[in-house]
Structure 1
Amino acid sequence: MIAKLTGLLDDTGPDWAIIDVNGVGYLVHCSARTLDRFGIRGDRVVVHTEMQVSETDQRLIGFGSAAERDWFRLLTAIQGVGSKVALAILSALTTDELQRACAGGDAAMVARANGVGPKLASRIVNELKDKAGALPNAAGIAVAAAPAGSASADAVSALQNLGFKPVVASAAVAQAIGELGDGAGLNDLVRVALKRAAG
């Protein structure tokens, strides 16, 4: 099982990217939002992945963050939501917007995604309402429990000083840690977390 790729962006298309990892090119299907985050050809990228295998197909789905992958797994567990629809939703909404839509029962927001009608949007919101709060909050608790003076705690504090709410700041820093690793420095954490919080 391939869970993460770190390599160079070799090529992109409307819904895919090729990531060159030590000379091996991996074709990864992605949301538009993830593709935008990758940058330009030759850039070093980190891609969280999910392998999908069916009788007729094998494909690697790529995400810009572990949080996006978690939402993809939740979405594809719902009847009528395949990988294409899940990626369309993740292209139209950030994970924070999706969380708010599900927690608040806002089916119209989910229905903005291509290929998602009102009926399916209602089903998604209803089925994920209870699970929606768990994802960002779980991430936030992990960061809030970080020792005072640690880079992650300082990064959360920095985002709060910039006007972000504690839950948003914690979730963004947790996403940044997921992308950069536990040993990431304060400046890198704040830079990536700012992008996630504002995205």
Structure 2
Amino acid sequence: MIGRISGILLDKTPPQVLVDCNGVGYEVDVPMSTFYNLPHTGEKVVLFTHLTVREDAHLLFGFGSASERALFRQLIKITGIGARIALAILSGMSVAELSQAVTLQETGRLVKVPGIGKKTAERLLLELKGKVGADLGTVAGVVRDDAQTDVLNALVALGYSDKEALAATKNMPAGASVSDGIKFALKALSKG
């Protein structure tokens, strides 16, 4: 297995790049999220990779981060999701956005990706739930303090879904204690 390559970026033709590693040129397919963050041609590049071996081809996929590669590997394990669709998903959404969509079970975000219909999006969300999901402490790029994270986890433990817990704590006053936060969230949930 080729897990990482490091070399000189020779060519960039979306969605493929050519990387020279000590005289050997590797053709690597990358999602657009990685493609846009690549250096200029002639500069050094490091990509985390995933090698797929088929009867008719050996395909190398490259990613700018280990988390992108891990998500790619989770996606291709799902029945009906091949490497091309997985790349399309990663091209259309960041790892954090997909994790948030899984946590909140939002099919609308996935159907915007070319090649993903409503049924496929629903199957993706179902298959990824529990495997991929936003850390309840850092949803939508908002870092929550320990009390807010504890309140979210308490609500989930009480049987509320991640989506309900996030909605209930959205307007929670900053600096509230855990017990005050739980009271606030439960009031918000009873109104909804």
TM-score w.r.t. the length of structure 2 is 0.69
- Whether 1:59 and 2:59 are equivalent positions in the alignment is yes
Whole-angstrom CA distance in 1 between matches of 2:92 and 2:46: 21
Equivalences for residues 6-155 of structure 1 within 5 A: 6-133=6-133, 137=135
Q: Aligned AA for 1:122?
A: E
Larger radius of gyration: 2
Whole-angstrom CA distance in 2 between matches of 1:58 and 1:17: 15
- Which residue of structure 1 aligns with residue 3 of structure 2? 3
Whole-angstrom CA distance in 2 between matches of 1:43 and 1:101: 35
| CA RMSD, Structure 1 to Structure 2 (Å) | 1.8
1:40 Cα deviation from its structure 2 partner:
1.3
Whole-angstrom CA distance in 1 between matches of 2:56 and 2:32: 25
Q: Which has the larger helix fraction?
A: 1
- What is the number of residues matched between the two proteins? 141
Q: Aligned AA for 2:85?
A: V
**Structure 2 vs 1, CA of residues 101 and 57 (structure 1 numbering), >3 Å: closer, same or farther?**
same
Residue 116 of structure 2 aligns to a residue whose secondary structure is coil
Whole-angstrom CA distance in 2 between matches of 1:116 and 1:43: 35
Residue 37 of structure 1 aligns to a residue whose secondary structure is coil
1:166 Cα deviation from its structure 2 partner:
5.8
Identity %: 39
In structure 2, stretches of 5+ residues that fail to align are 146-192
Residue 19 of structure 1 aligns to a residue whose secondary structure is strand
- Deviation sequence 1:74-125 (CA, Å, 0-9, x none): 1000011000000000000000000000111011111111111111011001
Whole-angstrom CA distance in 2 between matches of 1:78 and 1:122: 12
In structure 1, stretches of 5+ residues that fail to align are 141-162, 168-199
1:39 Cα deviation from its structure 2 partner:
2.3
1:51 Cα deviation from its structure 2 partner:
0.4
- Deviation sequence 1:125-177 (CA, Å, 0-9, x none): 111011113xx65xx9xxxxxxxxxxxxxxxxxxxxxx95169xxxxxxxxxx
Runs of 4+ aligned structure 1 residues displaced above 4 Å come to: none
Whole-angstrom CA distance in 2 between matches of 1:75 and 1:26: 23
